[in-house]
Amino acid sequence: MPLNTPQDRRLWGGMVAVYLADQLSKLAVLRFIGPWDEREVIAGFFKLVHWGNTGAAWSLFTGNNGLLALVSVAALVVLYLTRERFEPRSLTGQVALGLIFGGILGNLTDRLRVGHVIDFLRFYLVRRGDGAEVGFPAFNVADSAICLGVALLLLRSLRQELKPRSGPALTGPI
């Protein structure tokens, strides 16, 4: 991985920061919260949990940990080889790719080390009447980083599309 320019160093530095934040937070979960245990932080809204996910987002493709690990490696390789397309010389591109690379590596490490992705952030509401929890699937730092990185790339792309383009001035009747 080249670190020849300040931009490269920022991209890879961001990746390492996300990866470390993800792995350190998951080590804390492994140490302090038992498997399938929960710790209520804000009653009726937020819990720290220790859930394993052998699938992808929202537990899609559950039970396919090995295949999803291969998909992660393929995604990293493709993103690395095509990173110039994402304008890594711009600050937004550097941050976005750092977030995505760090997030993919964090979840890939879980898949290889413990056989599933460790999810631990659970936001929910309690439904009136039956008291059932209705909420967002549990997620982790890596998931957040990937989503934020993709959102930054999409916003950057949208901004580029909405930019007025300069061209030759129109003259004469239309």
Give the catalytic positions in this structure: 119, 143
Look at residue 166 and give its three-state secondary structure.
Answer: coil
Name the CA radius of gyration of the chain, rounded: 20
Task: Give residue 52's identity as a one-letter amino acid code.
Answer: G
- Are 41 and 47 contacting, i.e. CB atoms less than 8 angstroms apart? yes
Handedness of CA 155, 157, 159, 162 (dihedral sign): negative
Cα–Cα distance for residue pair 51/83, rounded to 1 Å: 33
